[in-house]
């Protein structure tokens, strides 16, 4: 299929973007940074075209559903969400250095879709449980929230690297000197989670409505549902600690990393380790 070849090309383009951002970090070359940003926008446009073309291919095969129905398509969409949100934040923050930590996520997820054994790129008819308009609302909100949490994790790693250097009493030289100030990193960790948390909440609510439509029950304590709720509580704890307990800095950065680990287990661990109603993904 044409879309599959396009996604394969996008995989290598995201790899090139990742390498460029890392080299921008290593050599502190503004020219490399501009090339990395420009190539990332071009890659995102090609990625968008590939998703739309896969949707067209679905119609051509007589199915006509959005490309959000299996592991391959969700990985491709997850990667797209990360790239889109990162580039929007880069434009807003004017902090290109974050790309060295954020863009690898976009590359790794689409690379897994393209290269991992057992991840099929076929376009299959929707199973009955997926034949609902709730599919779009649930999947889109969940993956936009996951992408926001991925960015939060990337920025948290930057914060932890920078604070460790400061605690050791060392001067901020070399590539660490390019990092935004600690206060700016801390604020961005909060902002990305504050954006992702309502989206995750909407994703869980629409998922419950979808479950009632498909299986006749809003909540069945399926492993996917349970781990989605655990993830929600981790980020609710983050916001509570930040807004009520006035936690800042290292503790909230660690909570952000733990939260994204919960996201990854909710997405991969439940699908491959725990069986349940969501195993079809």
Provide the domain count of the chain: 2
Domain containing 106 equals 1-116
Say whether both 63 and 172 belong to one domain.
no
Q: 178 and 28 in contact (C-beta within 8 Å)?
A: yes
Model confidence band, residue 276 (pLDDT cutoffs 50, 70, 90)? low
Tokens describing residue 151: 């960015």
Helices H, strands E: what count in the chain?
9, 0
Model confidence band, residue 80 (pLDDT cutoffs 50, 70, 90)? very high
Say whether both 100 and 167 belong to one domain.
no
Query: Which of 83, 116, 149 finishes a domain?
Result: 116
Distance between CA atoms of 265 and 227, rounded to whole angstroms?
Answer: 8
Tokens describing residue 46: 């090609």
Task: Please state the pTM of the whole predicted model.
Answer: 0.93
Tokens describing residue 37: 């940003």
Task: Please say if the pLDDT value at position 214 is more than 80.
Answer: no
Say whether both 145 and 112 belong to one domain.
no
* Residues ≥6 apart with Cβ < 8 Å to 152: 188, 189, 192, 193, 196, 256, 259, 260
Distance between CA atoms of 268 and 281, rounded to whole angstroms?
Answer: 10
Q: 129 and 215 in contact (C-beta within 8 Å)?
A: yes
Model confidence band, residue 125 (pLDDT cutoffs 50, 70, 90)? confident
pLDDT at position 264 is: 94
- Mapped onto helix, strand or coil, the DSSP state of residue 168 is coil
Say whether both 83 and 172 belong to one domain.
no
Say whether both 156 and 270 belong to one domain.
yes
pLDDT at position 142 is: 94
Say whether both 158 and 278 belong to one domain.
yes
Say whether both 107 and 163 belong to one domain.
no
Dihedral, CA of residue 73, residue 139, residue 260 and residue 179, to nearest 10: 80
Tokens describing residue 211: 């479950």
pLDDT at position 254 is: 96
Q: Compute the mean pLDDT over every residue in the chain, rounded to the nearest whole number.
A: 88
Say whether both 274 and 168 belong to one domain.
yes
């Amino acid at each position: 299929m044409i879309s599959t070849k396009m996604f394969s090309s996008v995989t290598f383009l995201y790899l090139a973007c990742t390498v460029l951002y890392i080299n921008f970090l290593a050599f502190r070359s503004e020219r490399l940074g501009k090339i990395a940003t420009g190539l990332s926008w071009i890659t995102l446009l090609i990625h968008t075209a590939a998703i739309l073309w896969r949707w067209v291919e679905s119609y051509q095969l007589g199915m006509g559903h959005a490309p959000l129905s299996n592991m391959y398509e969700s990985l491709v969409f997850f990667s797209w969400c990360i790239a889109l949100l990162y580039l929007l934040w880069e434009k807003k923050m004017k902090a290109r250095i974050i790309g060295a930590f954020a863009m690898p996520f976009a590359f790794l997820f689409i690379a897994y879709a393209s290269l991992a054994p057992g991840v099929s790129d076929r376009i299959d008819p929707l199973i009955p449980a997926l034949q609902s308009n709730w599919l779009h609302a649930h999947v889109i909100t969940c993956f936009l929230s996951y992408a926001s949490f991925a960015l939060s994790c990337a920025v948290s790693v930057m914060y932890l690297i920078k604070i460790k250097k400061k605690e050791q009493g060392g001067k901020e030289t070399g590539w660490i000197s390019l990092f935004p100030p600690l206060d700016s990193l801390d604020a961005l960790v909060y902002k990305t989670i504050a954006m992702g948390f309502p989206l995750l909440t909407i994703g869980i609510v629409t998922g419950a409505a979808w479950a009632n439509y498909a299986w006749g029950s809003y909540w069945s304590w399926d492993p996917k549902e349970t781990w989605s709720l655990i993830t929600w509580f981790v980020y609710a704890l983050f916001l509570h600690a930040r807004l009520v307990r006035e936690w800042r800095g290292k503790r909230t950065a660690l909570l952000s990393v733990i939260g994204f680990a919960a996201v990854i287990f909710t997405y991969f661990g439940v699908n491959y380790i725990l069986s349940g109603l969501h195993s079809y993904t």
